[in-house]
């Protein structure tokens, strides 16, 4: 079955829906009520090979596509997303348990990524080089890599499907995508939007299945030149190791343990809501979520009170109500994992300021005080609506504690001091630093990514050109 109205998703290969070679299908259960939201094909290695072969052939056939062609495809795809916004929002709600406000933001961000990628089509620039050889004309040009694999997560399935495809297409590559089995529908909808936008057959392919089978098959395939991955640090390391063995390029956007520093001169009325939304938006299931707060000892108590006041007032309920902020976790397993981390912290002496438990899959927004660095909740990415708060006395101490962590995705500082803000930005090892803003921020053109165990390489409409092309030196005598 490949009828999209029934949400039965075959693989999208060479511009057509295909049933799985092995005949294996799997139900996709909505985190809202555990009802079947559709079913999707489960790929075998043979299915993955077919998708790569389709991409390789399409890459060769479309080498001469003009920048204006690629620009037109991506702008038309952006319009297609805009025209399909209601359907995309509904699918995000059903597939991921996303509140409507988050789903609408995801669609809007994805449209912006497509338009930024369209602009990048005319920014793939070369260089004219001097030469010591008389009469030699020397220059360097950028060439596409070929077939690029994209492995995407459940939490922002549309944004990441677009990010792992729009710029590869803009730079002349072909794409094979493996979406999370917990949120498969976005990649399928995007495939049809790309087709309607004029993207040639085979330049964008989608296979569904498990990362340890299909992800590995794509990562080690000899015709795949690059792998773009978004997900956990554990899986990202596996991808990096396997890709490196074959000399493939990778971009890895992985876990985060993102701090917000609140200085003694900070505007708490402004900072507290930013921190709370940064920690609790989409149930904390965002790589950029604020899971750790370092508050100056002079404002620690007041900030705790304000965070609790905000957290306990965040509305849950109907996901289609624009006022709703809190929805279900993606799975029982993830909900139970967050509960174990909270319970372990409490057992070791942490104090629950609010929340601390769950009803069904709805985990209460939780603020933990009296936490120490030995607790798992302080060492691991939580990926749930939990904020841990600690005190500090000197800003340098806070910076050192942040830099001592193995994660280095993003960080925020709230202060009225320009000097402290500059010091923090200069010394903090996080890849993204925000001053008087939340940790959860994203724009289509910025160099997005992490350092250390949070990632390798960068996404973004301009910096991504470097990741997705290779230099060729040309001379003429």
d(CA 355, CA 349): 16
- CA proximity to 283, closest of 155, 172, 171: 155
- CA proximity to 223, closest of 436, 48, 21: 48
- CA proximity to 251, closest of 450, 471, 445, 118: 450
d(CA 368, CA 189): 40
Alpha carbon separation from 389 to 189, 378, 386, 411 (Å, rounded)? 41, 10, 10, 14
From the CB of residue 426, how many other CB atoms can be counted at a distance below 10 Å? 9
Query: Does the annotation mark 106 as catalytic?
Result: no
Q: Give yes or no for a contact between 392 and 366, defined as CB atoms under 8 angstroms apart.
A: no
Alpha carbon separation from 179 to 55, 160, 172, 429 (Å, rounded)? 17, 9, 22, 30
From the CB of residue 137, how many other CB atoms can be counted at a distance below 10 Å? 12
d(CA 106, CA 93): 11
Q: CB neighbours of 152 closer than 8 A, spacing ≥ 6?
A: 160, 161, 164, 177, 178, 179, 180, 187, 230, 231
d(CA 303, CA 289): 18
Catalytic residue among 106, 253, 381, 467: 253
- The residues carrying an active-site annotation are 253
């Amino acid at each position: 079955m490949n009828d999209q109205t029934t949400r039965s998703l075959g693989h999208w290969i060479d511009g057509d829906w295909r049933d799985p070679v092995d005949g294996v299908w799997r139900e996709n259960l909505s985190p809202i009520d555990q009802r079947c939201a559709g079913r999707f094909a489960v790929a075998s290695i043979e299915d993955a090979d077919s998708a790569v072969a389709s991409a390789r052939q399409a890459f060769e056939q479309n080498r001469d596509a003009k920048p204006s062609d690629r620009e037109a495809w991506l702008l038309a795809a952006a319009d297609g997303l805009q025209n399909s916004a209601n359907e995309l929002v509904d699918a995000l709600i059903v597939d991921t348990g996303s509140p409507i406000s988050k789903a609408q933001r995801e669609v809007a961000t994805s449209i912006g990524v497509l338009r930024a990628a369209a602009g990048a089509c005319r920014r793939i620039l070369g260089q004219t080089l001097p030469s010591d050889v008389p009469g030699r004309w020397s220059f360097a040009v950028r060439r596409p890599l070929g077939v690029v694999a994209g492995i995407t997560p459940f939490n922002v399935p549309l944004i990441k499907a677009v990010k792992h495809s729009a710029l590869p297409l803009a730079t002349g590559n072909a794409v094979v995508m493996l979406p999370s089995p917990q949120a498969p529908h976005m990649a399928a909808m995007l495939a049809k939007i790309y087709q309607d936008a004029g993207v040639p057959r085979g330049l964008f392919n989608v296979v569904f299945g498990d990362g340890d089978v299909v992800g590995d098959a794509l990562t080690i395939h000899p015709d795949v030149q690059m792998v773009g991955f978004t997900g956990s640090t554990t899986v990202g390391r596996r991808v990096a190791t396997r890709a490196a063995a074959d000399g493939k390029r990778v971009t890895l956007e992985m876990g985060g343990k993102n701090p917000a520093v609140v200085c003694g001169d900070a505007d708490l009325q402004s900072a507290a809501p930013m921190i709370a939304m940064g920690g609790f938006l989409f149930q904390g299931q965002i790589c950029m979520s604020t899971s750790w707060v370092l508050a100056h000892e002079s404002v620690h108590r007041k900030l705790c009170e304000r965070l609790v006041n905000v957290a306990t007032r965040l509305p849950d309920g109907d996901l289609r109500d624009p006022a709703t902020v809190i929805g279900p976790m993606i799975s029982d397993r993830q909900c139970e994992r967050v509960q174990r981390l909270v319970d372990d912290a409490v057992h070791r002496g942490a104090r629950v300021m609010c929340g601390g438990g769950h009803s069904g899959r709805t985990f209460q927004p939780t603020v933990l005080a009296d936490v120490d660095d030995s607790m798992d909740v302080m060492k691991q990415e939580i990926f749930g609506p939990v904020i841990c708060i600690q005190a500090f006395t000197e800003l340098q101490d806070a910076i050192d504690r942040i830099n001592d962590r193995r994660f280095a995705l993003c960080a925020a500082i709230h202060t009225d001091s320009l000097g402290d803000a500059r010091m923090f930005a200069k010394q903090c090892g996080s890849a993204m630093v925000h001053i008087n803003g939340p940790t959860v921020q994203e724009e289509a053109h910025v160099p997005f990514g992490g350092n250390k165990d949070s990632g390798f390489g960068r996404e973004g409409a301009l910096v991504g050109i470097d990741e997705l092309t290779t230099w060729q030196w040309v001379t003429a005598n």
